Amino acid sequence: MTELPQRGAVWREDIRRRFLAVDTSNVADVLDTLGLPDQGLAPQFAPYPATTGQLAGFAYTIRGQMTPFPLGGDAEKMKACQGVSPGEVTVWSGDGEGICYFGELIAIGMKEKGCVGALVDGGIRDIRWIGEQAFPVYARYRTPVQSIGRWKVNASQVPVLMRGATSRYVEIKPGDFILADDDGAIVIPAERIEEVLAEAERLTAVEVNIRRDLSRGLSLADALAKYGHV
């Protein structure tokens, strides 16, 4: 894996705030033009609660697998969560079905460390209470069934695979950027973050102008003639 230059906290937060001002749809269009058409995640990924708002941050990956073990906790899960840094989104992957990967208390702990949300290729619970924490979570499903005794974390900060929209899986590496909103979730490779963001901002500005002109009475045909396809 190619080593990327280390960026400071100010740069990371600026990037994150700017991504919060663009839509996943524009990002997806930009990725298409760059020859990266399979970065969207499966349509089952949804916000929990539905009012959670956008999710934007740098990927901190956590991987697990179905592993029967005695009740009493998952030390590896706790250890993995301790490594999260400000501006990061925890990305949970694995083979669990019908169980939750985390709930309210882990969300609180991650938020205390500056984590800005979670993307879960599995289930979550305690949704009402997570919502009260203003901690954005996008997951494939919700379930009351805990992971303890069933599913165990076995790695963190490694490349992981998440279910995709146009491909079976999308690879997510530590440091990639995660953006999710009402349209779904998408992954921007770390080495393309600034390039994708700048073009998504340009498209967003064009759309703002189109909506303004339409509200002033310009026809859609004339708007498309003026601005082109977006």
CATH code, domain with 122? 3.50.30.40
pLDDT one-digit tens code per residue, 33-65: 999 999 999 999 999 999 999 999 999 999 999
Task: Give the DSSP H or E segment for 177.
Answer: strand 177-181
- Count structural domains, the chain: 1
How far apart CA 147 and CA 79 sit, in angstroms, is 16
Asked whether the whole model's pTM tops 0.85, one would answer yes
Which residues are annotated binding-site positions? 103-106, 125-126
The answer to whether position 221 is within a domain reads no
pLDDT one-digit tens code per residue, 204-228: 887 766 677 677 776 767 656 665 6
Which residues are annotated binding-site positions for Mg(2+)? 126
Q: Where do the DSSP E strands lie in 39-136?
A: 46-47, 55-66, 88-94, 100-102, 118-124
The answer to whether position 202 is within a domain reads no
Which of 143, 157, 14, 148 minimizes the C-alpha distance to 91? 157
Q: How many residues does this entry show for the chain?
A: 230
The answer to whether position 220 is within a domain reads no
Where in the sequence is the domain holding 77, given as residue range(s)? 9-191
Which residues are annotated binding-site positions for substrate? 103-106, 125
- Tokens representing residue 141 in the block: 């499903």
What's the rounded mean pLDDT across residues 176-203? Answer: 97
The answer to whether position 85 is within a domain reads yes
The answer to whether position 210 is within a domain reads no
